[in-house]
């Protein structure tokens, strides 16, 4: 009876995993989704509603079909000279769209830049509020602060976000979390956020354990969230209580694992922070194949293959290679024909067919 209860309760997890992957699971079937290219590199994905608006800026965005992949693309004008010019031109468009009040995402203008990168270099920066419109991949860090309680077992510290935050105000969230910023490493960001958000002292933060990452693809009215969160675990002493230092958190609460799962299911929990909690509860043996029927499916949905969705350049190179090989084989065919012509002194029609 008890185990049935757990099954029923936990299969809600599968629905939740589908919810924070709503774009991964169904987004590509719902209309025109195009790669966003900068300098030939795919840095994002753009939905039809955004494409429609970008069409009004033809000097800045080229919306066309790629001649090699036969795929619709949105390309930042390749004539722009450098990082600075690309940044400036995109900024002009974003400020114009913002003034027109078309996208709710831009109403949360942050005056804070996000670096848009290809695998190896920064291509431009844009206001953080705009990245969901372009489906730019976002990276963040999260710390699972936890306690092994003598009577209550595994307990987890959660934070409640400040009501004044631009995104997800007042929602419950992981103990510590933040986006990666230019100039900071991944662990460095975790340590910095641990101090700012929860006043974790250096003698505790030295116990941080890197524990992997989660990747998911969520869509809201704000746009697209192809997010990867680097995950750290931090076991805390029983008597430690986190204290906020930067005004971005209004409360902390320590919850037994069971109550933490319930909190995650409520509307009061930030949807895009759920994957980190679920991953933690799986890695620590609280959610298991015995109590969760969709165990393997949920784990797949904590690690969706985002890299396979941003592969325009690879696809293009493959198509170009095939084209090149076809051209070469045509040239060789001509060459072979010419040789045969020379060999037998007259134009051998069969040669064309055989080659």
170-200 burial code (b ≥16 CB/10 A, e <16): ebbbbbbbbbbeeebeeeebbbbbbbbbbeb
Contact between 179 and 272 (Cβ < 8 Å): no
CB 283 to its own copies: min, Å: 5
Compute the C-alpha angle 338/342/348, nearest 5°. Answer: 65
**Does residue 213 touch its own copies according to CB under 8 A?**
yes
CB closer to its own copies out of 172 and 225: 225
Contact between 242 and 157 (Cβ < 8 Å): yes
Phi, psi of 3 (to 5 degrees): -70, -30
Give strand pairing partners of 76: 61
Q: Which stretch binds its own copies (CB under 8 A): 7-15, 46-54, 66-74, 285-293?
A: 285-293
CB closer to its own copies out of 109 and 139: 139
Give dist(CA 350, CA 355) in Å, integer: 9
CB 30 to its own copies: min, Å: 13
Give strand pairing partners of 218: 225
**Does residue 31 touch its own copies according to CB under 8 A?**
no
**Does residue 285 touch its own copies according to CB under 8 A?**
yes
CB closer to its own copies out of 203 and 239: 203
Tokens linked to 348: 């051998």
CB closer to its own copies out of 165 and 303: 303
The residue within the footprint of its own copies, chosen from 89, 144, 160, 215 (CB under 8 A), is 215
Which of the residues 299 through 328 are near its own copies (CB under 8 A)? 299-300, 302-307
Give dist(CA 5, CA 155) in Å, integer: 21
Torsion on CA atoms 64, 70, 71, 75, rounded to nearest 10: -40
**Does residue 282 touch its own copies according to CB under 8 A?**
yes
CB closer to its own copies out of 183 and 345: 183
The residue within the footprint of its own copies, chosen from 63, 186, 204, 351 (CB under 8 A), is 186
**Does residue 283 touch its own copies according to CB under 8 A?**
yes
Quick one: which H or E segment has residue 277?
helix 274-283
The residues of the shown chain that bind its own copies, judged by CB under 8 A, are 185-187, 209-213, 215, 228, 230, 282-285, 288-290, 295-297, 299-300, 302-307
């Amino acid at each position: 009876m008890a185990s049935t209860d757990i099954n029923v309760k936990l299969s809600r997890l599968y629905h939740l995993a589908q919810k924070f992957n709503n774009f991964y699971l169904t987004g590509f079937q719902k209309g025109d989704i195009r790669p966003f290219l900068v300098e030939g590199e795919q840095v994002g994905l753009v939905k039809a509603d955004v494409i429609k608006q970008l069409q009004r800026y033809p000097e800045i965005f080229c919306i066309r079909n790629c001649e090699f992949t036969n795929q619709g693309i949105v390309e930042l004008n390749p004539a722009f000279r450098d990082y600075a010019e690309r940044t400036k031109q995109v900024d002009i468009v974003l400020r114009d769209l913002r003034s027109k009040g078309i996208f709710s995402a831009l109403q949360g203008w942050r005056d804070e830049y996000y670096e848009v990168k290809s695998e190896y270099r920064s291509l431009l920066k844009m206001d953080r509020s705009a990245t969901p419109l372009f489906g730019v991949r976002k990276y963040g860090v999260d710390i699972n602060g936890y306690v092994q309680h003598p009577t209550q077992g595994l307990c987890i510290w959660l934070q409640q976000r400040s009501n004044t935050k631009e995104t997800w105000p007042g929602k419950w969230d992981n103990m510590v979390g933040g986006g990666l910023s230019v100039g900071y490493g991944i662990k460095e960001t975790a340590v910095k956020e641990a101090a700012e958000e929860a006043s974790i002292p250096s003698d505790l933060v030295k116990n941080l354990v890197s524990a992997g990452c989660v990747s998911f693809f969520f869509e809201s009215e704000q746009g697209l969230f192809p997010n990867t969160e680097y995950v750290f675990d931090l076991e805390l002493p029983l008597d430690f209580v986190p204290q906020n230092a930067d005004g971005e958190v209004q409360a902390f609460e320590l919850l037994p694992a069971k109550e933490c799962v319930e909190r995650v299911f409520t509307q009061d929990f930030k949807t895009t922070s759920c994957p980190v909690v679920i991953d933690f509860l799986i890695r620590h043996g609280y959610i298991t194949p015995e109590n969760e029927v969709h165990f393997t499916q949920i784990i797949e949905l904590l690690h969706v293959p985002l890299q396979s969705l941003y592969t325009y350049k690879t696809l293009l190179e493959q198509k170009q290679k095939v084209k090149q090989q076809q051209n070469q084989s045509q040239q060789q065919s001509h060459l072979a024909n010419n040789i045969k012509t020379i060999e037998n002194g007259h134009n051998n029609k069969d040669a064309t067919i055989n080659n």
